[in-house]
């Protein structure tokens, strides 16, 4: 059995991350949400078999849902196994939902899943209020990362 990817210092076991979201979007605010899951989904997640790369969050009728999150079917499951790409409801307080609604009504803002993890035995999803980056912003991020890597390399070689 394969365990979740890594253990964070704050007791979180990360199952899946979405690094492309931080590259494509500027994250304005983050929020942690619980999820309504079935038993086989939780078992499959504990085995590390979930992805959120294609996922997105949408508000419908005063509730939040995640679409496109893939949780592989549980191998030891039976006829009651879950559907891998089903829509899952997110558990948020009313005030949090209202805040998300205000953010998403602004032009250019969207909700993206950033990380899927277990915290104190419960599955959580870190969602971010994001604004799309243009090509110039992405190039600037790449240039800064390359510059930092070059400086680190120079410092490391200067020590020896």
pLDDT digits (tens, 9 = 90+) for 86-119: 899 999 999 999 998 998 888 888 899 999 999 9
Contacts (Cβ under 8 Å, ≥6 apart) of 121: none
Secondary structure in 3-state letters for the chain: CCCCCEECCCCEEEEEECHHHHHHEEEEEEEEEEECCCHHHHHHHHCCCEECCCCEEEEECCEEEEECCEECCCCCCCCCCCCCCCCEEEECCHHHHHHHHHHHHCCCEEEEEEEEEEECCEEEEEEEEEEECCHHHHHHHHHHHHHHHHHHHHHHHHHC
- Residue 34: per-residue pLDDT: 92
pLDDT at 7: 58
pLDDT tens profile 4-53: 555 555 678 889 898 888 888 888 889 999 999 888 888 888 888 888 88
On the question of pLDDT at 65 being above 60, the answer is: yes
Q: Decide the pairing of beta strands 70-71 and 50-51.
A: antiparallel
What are the structural domains of the chain? Answer: 6-133 (2.40.280.10)
- Could you tell me if residue 77 is left (phi over 0), alpha (psi between -120 and 50 degrees) or otherwise beta? beta
């Amino acid at each position: 059995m394969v365990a979740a990817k890594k253990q964070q210092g704050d007791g979180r076991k990360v199952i899946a991350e979405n690094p492309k979201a931080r590259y494509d979007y500027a994250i304005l605010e983050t929020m942690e949400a619980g999820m309504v899951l079935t038993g086989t989904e939780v078992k499959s997640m504990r085995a590390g078999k979930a992805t959120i790369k294609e996922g997105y969050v949408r508000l419908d009728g005063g509730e939040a849902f995640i679409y496109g999150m893939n949780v592989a079917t549980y191998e030891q499951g039976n006829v009651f196994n879950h559907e891998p790409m089903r829509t899952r409801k997110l558990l948020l307080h009313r005030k949090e939902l209202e805040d998300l609604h205000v953010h998403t009504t602004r032009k250019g803002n969207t909700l993206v899943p950033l990380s899927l993890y277990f915290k104190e035995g419960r599955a959580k999803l870190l969602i971010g209020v994001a604004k799309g980056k243009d090509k110039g912003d992405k190039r600037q991020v790449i240039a800064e990362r390359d510059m930092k890597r070059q400086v680190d390399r120079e410092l490391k070689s200067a020590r020896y």
